[in-house]
Amino acid sequence: MKKAISVFSGGLDCTVATCVYDNDYEIHAITFNYGQKAFAQELKASRKICEKMGWTHEVIDLPWLSDISNSSLNTDEDIPEVSENNLDDIDKSSETASNVWVPARNTVFTSIALSYAESIGAEIIIVGWNNEEGLTFPDNSQEFLNEFNELIKVGSPDKIRIEAPAINLNKEELVELGVKVGAPMKLSYSCYKGEDEPCGVCESCVRRNRAFKKVGI
């Protein structure tokens, strides 16, 4: 069976994206530990989902990324809280995105995933990048996806491509896709703060909650 590497945090986006390819690929999920506050909960969610779906799962530690990061995701700085009314305010969302930005995170993650893809003969790398977050996170954008795939064409001897099935979707549409492909979304964890119960007030939680509410779940 064809093989795929999934950059997998146990969150909503990557869970749905990976399930899109579940029937056609042998999935090898990778979870990164870069000192994020939510790592314990992300690991728990990732393990539950991978066990349920029959995917292999591996954790990669990146302590150096934590050491150089000034992000509130992996420092003592408080994670910003937002209201649903502010989600579509590009200025406020950009400010929040800057606060939680981890230096070159998706570039690092995807490059490591490419190494794994070459080593096991995987044809695709699955990511949960989506249009809603791509508005404020440049490493979630269509442009970033296109350029990285061009880089792989130049820099890898293998025919590997990044697949981002939600790249043109907002969160509501992503949840609808999750329903369509039978993704175990209720097992996923998206909170930045890493508490046992999702905080409900960080940007990730608020975007997730709004999407499910709009879909009627």
Measured in degrees and rounded to the nearest 5, phi and psi for residue 72 equal -70, -15
Average pLDDT, the chain: 96
CATH number at residue 53: 3.40.50.620
199 annotated ligand-binding residue: yes
Q: Is 83 annotated as a binding residue?
A: no
- Is this model's pTM higher than 0.85 or not? yes
Q: Is 31 annotated as a binding residue?
A: no
By C-alpha distance, which of 93, 67, 65, 66 is closest to 80? Answer: 93
Arithmetic mean of pLDDT, 19-48? 98
Question: What pLDDT, in 10s, does the model give residues 66-113?
Answer: 999 999 999 999 999 999 988 888 888 899 999 999 999 999 999 999
Domain count, the chain: 1
Q: Which residues on adjacent β-strands are paired with residue 202?
A: 81
164 is in an annotated binding site: no
134 is in an annotated binding site: no
Domain range for 128 is: 3-215
Note the pLDDT tens digit of each residue in 130-171.
999 999 999 999 999 999 999 999 999 999 999 999 999 999
188 in a labelled binding site: no
